């Protein structure tokens, strides 16, 4: 049973380009979370999704950032017109059930904006 798969592991983008980060949850998991981590800092919640639904996007910047989790395929975190401040590690996590299930994290995508 493969774990949470994120790709790419490393992504370099020039300012103004788009970044697409993919996350395939563990088999059977329908709950996906995206977190952002700056160097030497904690995990900041961005968005929580279930299949085809955004449940909580209170941590997402209002502009340039969007997320989806389609019926088929991976969850996508999309950052348009990236700026240097978007450079961070983006972690995806998935869980099995509602409420108290543990979250399994992917290895993250390290985004560098140059």
Binding site for other proteins (CB under 8 A): 31, 33, 35, 41-45, 48, 55-56, 58, 91, 93, 95, 98-100, 102-108
Q: Residue 25 Cβ, how far from other proteins at the closest point, in Å?
A: 14
Q: For tokens 């697409």, what's the residue?
A: 20
Between CA 27 and CA 48 the distance in angstroms is 18
- Collapsing DSSP to helix, strand or coil, 105 comes out as strand
Between CA 80 and CA 112 the distance in angstroms is 14
* Residue 17 or 112 having the CB closest to other proteins: 112
* Residue 40 or 63 having the CB closest to other proteins: 40
Q: For tokens 């409420």, what's the residue?
A: 99
Q: Residue 71 Cβ, how far from other proteins at the closest point, in Å?
A: 19
């Amino acid at each position: 049973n493969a774990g949470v798969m994120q790709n790419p592991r490393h992504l370099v983008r020039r300012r103004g380009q788009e970044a697409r980060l993919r996350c395939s949850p563990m088999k059977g998991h329908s709950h996906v979370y995206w977190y952002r981590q700056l160097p030497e800092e904690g995990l900041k919640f961005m968005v929580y999704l279930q299949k085809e639904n955004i449940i909580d996007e209170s941590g997402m910047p209002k502009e340039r950032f969007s997320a989806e989790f389609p019926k088929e395929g991976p969850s996508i975190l999309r950052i348009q017109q990236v700026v240097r401040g978007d450079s961070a590690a983006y972690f995806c996590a998935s869980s099995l059930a509602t409420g108290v299930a543990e979250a399994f994290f992917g290895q993250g995508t390290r985004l560098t904006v140059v």
